[in-house]
Amino acid sequence: MRRAKPKDPQEGGLGSLLRRRRNVYGFLARPIDRGTLEEILDDSAHVPSAGFTQDCDLVVVRDAAVKKELAEAAREPEYLKRGQAKSRFISGAPVVVVPCGNRSLFEARYGAPAEKSARLPWWLIDAGFVSLALILSAFEKGLAASFIGGFDDDRVAKALSLPRDGSVVPLAIVPMGYARKEGSARRQKEKSIVAARRRDRKDVVHWDRW
């Protein structure tokens, strides 16, 4: 039997998504169709979680005032000042999703306090899986997204009215929408910088031992 020719990673599939995905710091004002958004949210539910605890919650923000609060908590003005963004990529994004690790759900399965029953904070690791799934699903559907991990936790918790006991922890701010078009020269420069900085597989992969 003739073997099928391996798929070129640039032709489609997960490999293509992983190679094309990048943080986007500028979105069009074009809204995201509700059905498309719900598909992305549904896709993100199909990731592993510790003991199938499903210990991640998503706060989906469309309200302009709340997006502005999140943008300030994530220091959006500093991105603009340093030239890392050309537009208000959080406050101006059509939708901002905040994946949150839910420690209460983990403890309901494995007991409290969670720190004594877990080697690692799995409720946050699970939220990381969900974040990546959100971003890849968005790219698959022609949108773009960013993973913003540096922000003021307390300000985000207050803006989203998260439980005051700290049982729900915001892991990231994920703005998503349709990407603003950038000049080909700028895109090529970014690709060259990333390619130069990316670690080679032989430096990352250790076979059998370190």
pLDDT in tens, 90-130: 999 999 999 999 999 999 999 988 888 889 999 999 999 99
Centre a 10 Å sphere on the Cβ of residue 177 and count the other Cβ atoms it contains. Answer: 24
* Angle of the 103-110 helix axis to the 122-140 helix axis, nearest 10: 130
Could you tell me the domains of the chain? 19-181 (3.40.109.10)
Q: Which residue has the higher pLDDT, 4 or 17?
A: 17
Q: Which H or E run contains 56? A: strand 56-61
pTM here is 0.86
pLDDT value, residue 12: 67
